[in-house]
A and B are shown apart, each in its own frame.
Chain A
């Protein structure tokens, strides 16, 4: 029995549906679509429930399963489905509504998607982060669709005076096959509204063999036409009557503040209308703005030119000496001494002492910036005690909360309209730019757009941390690994929320450190202290990047030292197919998921290694100067393995002829979008491995734009990237896709470079290291 089609596996939900026939007016107001509809209910009724069980119920505001909140049907049959998560390129604005359409038997060509504003009480959690959307919403969306279908079938049965069991929804109509009668969804809409919303426990979900859309990958994203014709609406594309354009000069050092400014020259710039101070918050203060000086103009170009003409004196504050060279030395020093023990299986110290041979690797990964193509931007319109925002935010609900708090108005008075995101990668989980726009609009009394330039984005981001990972592996005389000590030291994201947070948070420890899947009797993980000196934030796949880089490099280092095949070494370390016992870990976190539903299953990790080795031609013969590297990693409760082929010429020029990746993300919705995510993850992985480095001197970021913080361009991208999606087991719940592709890429690449050249790179980025 497939877990997804077995409602008996559902538990812990509560039900308080009530039938509500909604007037056209309220729907028009609620959803902004025309027609007399049914099933749309801007009401508070909701169910909280735990499915097969995911961590969804533990997220703020949990899950809402109510067809009246998510589905409406017009008399002409057009079905409108609400997308309540943020679209940043993963395809979620298509995938989640597609699940509803599948279950309700809607014809996708007659479905429209309506983006929900930020309202977590109504829609449930909207924080599009942590590769959670499909894993938390596959089942709820199916239930919503099945509820709507059941109501349509009940309405048709009544109309015909036949038992509901005799009718069946199919492709946008309900059919009574005994009499050959049919009624379209549009014809049934009004009557269906009068039907009670069925309880979740009685819902009949479709059998997977009857799926038309799920798992097929033949549906293009809903925004495809608009994107290719320039009509797609991103953060900066909102234009309001009387709207002003603003850019802000922010303190160059985190925690710095404005001392004084002279706007004389700025005010002379054609188009500049006003220069004003923007309120800043002391560091750390979660996502509150840094403050500074805003230039208000009739267009963005004038605002930028005006800002260039400002004369500003800053007070740098406590982080004015932050320097990446000395900071790195301090991390290395910390990594060479014992730190806080966060996992202890057996006795690694003793086993290392008795080892025949110890292999030590120390791996460095610098700060990284997200540099999504769309820099942060937001439009706000504050009128009295009401505020409306248009912004590319990953967390619409969180933005609403933070803007309301900042302005001192009730959340109900804040509307957050979520535009498409021109990339997110974690940066747009933080809504500082939306708060800035709200503050300026309040002060000016007009709508304002705050546009960040690329330089602003690079200088004032919430950077990926900087880390040293030190691994010592102890081998017995037969070359078997008997001890493993991994010290991970990096400033924590928690430091952005609270002063003095010097150790990794549970969620950071759980990303590739304490969740190590290797079958080693004596395994110890430590987390020495590190103080932050800038804003640290989530970056696609987060701490998994340095951890996978270190752990998977070390596997290949051990293989080389013991003259083993790296893939065989990897499988040996992963060990037998089993569920990893994390009883020695205080808080395994596990991506917020219950361990019963989402355990660390080494059988699945082995399978992706074997799948990629088979399909990706591990061991194939290669031209001179080429090499293959392999790496595997579980993150966001998905399993992934990557093989990279590199070519390094005699001048050290690196190219990537081929990438092969296998992913097991459990039950999946849209394989075509999974492929695109993994293809993109290879590019992001190559970018960070080859070039990614943000450095500080005198507290200031030294890079500014794509020239000194380069990312991969087409002429250096892999020639071919192949993606293999492992078929899910029958009871395998869905898991993450957006992030897991990134972590294994860098170590697979570095291992390939070693295979090609014999050079072991332990410090990223690669930069000029191959030229030496």
Chain B
């Protein structure tokens, strides 16, 4: 039996220990905010935060997450008012919105590590997260806004 803590709630899994965490989160725990995009850690749609690190849930197994604290978009802030989420809304970032949970989790992890990233640091840190609609200019502005308040 594997125990994983997701958004503060302990979840048990007695199936395949190699099951990608993404599918455990979505299909078994029923938290659908984390998205499937590529399955190969190429696009970042499935980004969650494990122990303050942005992690691609599609190539992380449930057993890798055993005993650790996993935060998904649903658990980022109780009312959805994390500075990154607020900035995202202020800048009207999303178009289709599908990649945005992953983008927001990546940005939140970036700000934990580097509260005042500069232009190049934002572009580098966010480069693993693809947005096919092409919201990059606004994502960059929103990360900047979340980190500086302006």
Contact = CB atoms under 8 A, between A and B. Distances in A.
Interface of A: 87-91, 220-221, 223-225, 227-234, 236-237, 239, 245, 269-271, 298-302, 304-305, 371-375, 420-425, 451, 453-455, 672, 676-677, 679-684, 705-707, 711-718, 720-721
Contacts of A717: 123, 134, 136-137
Given A305-B18, A375-B36, A714-B131, 6 more contacts: A87-B96, A224-B92, A237-B32, A454-B39, A706-B130, A713-B127
Interface of B: 15-16, 18-20, 22-24, 26-28, 30-40, 42-43, 45, 72-74, 76, 80, 85, 88-89, 92, 94-101, 104, 122-124, 126-140
Given A239-B30, A680-B95, A229 B85 contact: yes
Contact of A706 (B42, B101, B140): B42
Nearest to B100: A227
Contacts of B27: 245, 298-301
A438 B128 CA distance: 35
Contacts of B39: 304, 453-455, 705
Nearest to B30: A239
Contact of A373 (B18, B23, B99, B123): B99
User: Looking at B35, B88, B129, which has the most chain A CB atoms within 10 Å of its CB?
Assistant: B35
B124 A299 contact: no
Contacts of B128: 713
A420 B96 contact: yes
A272 B51 CA distance: 32
Given A234-B35, A672-B92, A707-B42, A228 B137 contact: no
7 contacts: A225-B89, A229-B85, A373-B99, A454-B38, A454-B43, A676-B138, A684-B134
Contacts of A455: 39
A227 B130 CA distance: 16
Contacts of B104: 228
A447 to B, nearest CB: 13
Contacts of A298: 15, 27
A228 B40 contact: no
**Interface of B: prevailing SS:** loop
A230 B126 CA distance: 19
Nearest to A425: B132
Contacts, number: 199
A687 to B, nearest CB: 8
Q: By CB atoms of chain A within 10 A, which of B19, B42, B72, B134 has the most?
A: B134
Nearest to B131: A373
Given A234-B35, A301-B19, A228 B96 contact: no
Contact of B137 (A237, A305, A454, A679): A679
A752 B13 CA distance: 56
B19 A682 contact: no
Contacts of B99: 373, 422
B135 A451 contact: no
Contacts of B16: 269-271, 301-302, 305
B98 A229 contact: no
B89 A714 contact: no
Contacts of A300: 23, 26-27, 36
B75 to A, nearest CB: 9
Given A230-B74, A423-B133, A714-B129, A225 B80 contact: yes
B137 A711 contact: no
A183 B40 CA distance: 58
Nearest to B20: A301
B140 to A, nearest CB: 7
A718 B136 CA distance: 9
Given A301-B19, A680-B133, A717-B137, A224 B94 contact: yes
Given A225-B80, A228-B89, A230-B34, A714 B136 contact: yes
A670 B85 CA distance: 23
A706 B15 CA distance: 30
Residue with the greatest number of chain B CB neighbours at <10 A, chosen from A239, A374, A705: A374
Given A230-B73, A707-B40, A683 B15 contact: no
A173 B15 CA distance: 58
Contacts of B88: 228
Contacts of A231: 33, 74
Contact of B135 (A234, A676, A706, A716): A676
A155 to B, nearest CB: 37
A724 to B, nearest CB: 15
Contacts of B76: 229
A269 B88 CA distance: 41
Contacts of B136: 683, 712-714, 717
Contacts of B139: 714
Given A220-B89, A224-B89, A236-B26, A422 B38 contact: no
B20, B89, B136: most-surrounded residue (chain A CB, <10 A): B136
Nearest to A708: B42
B86 to A, nearest CB: 8
Contact of A227 (B28, B36, B97, B122): B97
